[in-house]
Structure 1
C-alpha cells in the first residue's frame, strides 16, 4: 500500500486520540471516586446490619419487659385479693395462716420480678444507646455516601465530556484518510491495541523494540509513500524527520 507521507502522519494524530480514549476508559474502570462509593456502601451495609441486630435485641428485651410486667401485675392482683380476704375477717384460722404465708411468698415473688424488670430495663437502656449510636453512624455514612456519589458523578461527567470530544476529533481525522489505510489501522489496533506509531531512532513506537540494521535498511530503501509495518508487532510505522532515516 502506498500513501503520501503527510497522510500517513495523520495516523499519529488518530493514535494519540485512541491512546487518550484508552486512558479515559482505564480511568473509568479504576475511578477512585467509584472505589470510595463502593467502600462507603459496604461500610453502610455493615453498619446497617449492626443497627438491625440491635433492633432485634431491643424487640426481645421489650417482649421480656412486657412479660415481666404482666407477671408483676398478676402477682399484685393476687396479693390484693388475699388482702381483701384478710381484711374482710370472714376466713378461718387455717385459711388465715395460708393467706398470710401466700402474701409473704407473693411479696418475695414481686420483689424478684421487679429486680428482673430493673435488670432487663438497664440492658434495654444500654442497647438503646447502642442502637442510637449505630443509627448515627448510618446517618453519617449516608452523608458521606451522598458526597462521594456526587463526586463520582462529576468525575464520570468529566470523562464523558472528554470521551465525546475525542470521538468527535477522531471522526474528523478518520474522514480525511483513505478508507483502505483506516481499515489496516483499525484491524491492527484490534489485534494489539496500537494501530500505528512513530518510527524514531530505529525504535518502533508501538512495541518499543529497536529494529536491527537489516530492517532499517529495508525500510530506508522503501519508497517514501510506502506503508511499512513493524516486523515485531505489525503496527504501521510512520516515518518522519524524527525517524532519522
Structure 2
C-alpha cells in the first residue's frame, strides 16, 4: 500500500484522537459512581425485601392482637352477663348458683390469661412496627443516596459524552485528509491491536511496541519509497516516519 507522506503523518493525528477517545470510553466505563449507584440500588432492593417481610410480620402480629383483644372482650362480656344473672336474684337453685359462680371464676382466670397474651402481642406489635419504621428510614436514605449518586454519574457521563462529541468532530476532519484505502486499513489494524494502529518511528524504535528495530529493518525502511506504507516487524503496526526516526545516514567526513 502507498500513500502520500503527509497522509501518513496525518495518521498520527488520527491515532492521537482515537487514543483520547479510547481513554474517554475507559473513563466512562470506570466512573466510580457507576459501581456506587449499583451498590446502593442493590442495598435499596434488599431493604425493600426486608421491609416487605417486616410489614407482613407487623400485619400478622396486628391481626393476632385484634384476635386476642376480641377473645378478652368475649370472655369479659360473658363474665359480666353471668355476674348480672347471679346478682339479679332470678336464680334460686343453690346448685345452679354454685355452677354459675364457678363459671365466673373460670372466666376470670381465662380473662387474666388472655390479657397476658394481649400484653405479649402488644409488645410484639410495638417491636414489629419499630422494625418497619427503621427499615423505612433506611430504605428512604438508601434511595435518596442512590438518586444523588446517579445524578453525579449522569453529570460525569454527560461531560465525557460532550468531550467525545468534540473529539469525534475533530476525528472526522482529520479522517477526511486520509485516503479511504489507508483509513480502512488503519481502522482494521486498530480493531486487531487494542486500538493502536499507527505509531511513529522514533530514534530507531517503534513507539507502539517500544522495541528497537534491527539494523537490517532500519536499512529496509531507509530504502523504502517515501510513499510506501511500512510496518513494524514486531507488532505489525503502521510505522510513520518522522524527522525523529533516526533514518538519516550520518554525514560523510
User: What range is the shorter-chain TM-score in?
Assistant: over 0.9
**SS in structure 2 opposite 1:207?**
coil
Which whole-Å CA distance do the structure 1 matches of 2:177 and 2:12 have between them? 13
Aligned counterpart, 2:94 = 93
Which whole-Å CA distance do the structure 2 matches of 1:95 and 1:204 have between them? 115
Q: Is the counterpart of residue 152 in structure 1 residue 160 in structure 2?
A: no
Give the CA deviation at 1:118. 0.8
Which whole-Å CA distance do the structure 1 matches of 2:66 and 2:186 have between them? 78
Which whole-Å CA distance do the structure 1 matches of 2:65 and 2:169 have between them? 70
CA RMSD of aligned residues (A): 1.3
Q: Is the counterpart of residue 121 in structure 1 residue 152 in structure 2?
A: no
Q: Is the counterpart of residue 178 in structure 1 residue 179 in structure 2?
A: yes
**SS in structure 2 opposite 1:241?**
coil
Aligned counterpart, 1:30 = 30
Aligned counterpart, 2:134 = 133
Give the CA deviation at 1:210. 2.4
Q: Give the unaligned 5+ runs of structure 2.
A: 248-253
Deviations 1:74-100 (Å, cap 9, x if unpaired)? 101211221121012122111111111
Aligned counterpart, 2:50 = 50
Give the CA deviation at 1:51. 1.6
Q: TM-score, normalised by structure 1?
A: 0.95
Give the CA deviation at 1:208. 2.4
Aligned counterpart, 2:250 = none
Q: Is the counterpart of residue 6 in structure 1 residue 6 in structure 2?
A: yes
Q: Is the counterpart of residue 81 in structure 1 residue 98 in structure 2?
A: no
Q: TM-score, normalised by structure 2?
A: 0.92
**SS in structure 2 opposite 1:150?**
helix
Deviations 1:142-163 (Å, cap 9, x if unpaired)? 2211110110110110111111
Aligned counterpart, 1:63 = 63
Give the CA deviation at 1:139. 1.2
More helix by share: 1
Aligned counterpart, 2:234 = 232
Which whole-Å CA distance do the structure 2 matches of 1:183 and 1:54 have between them? 61
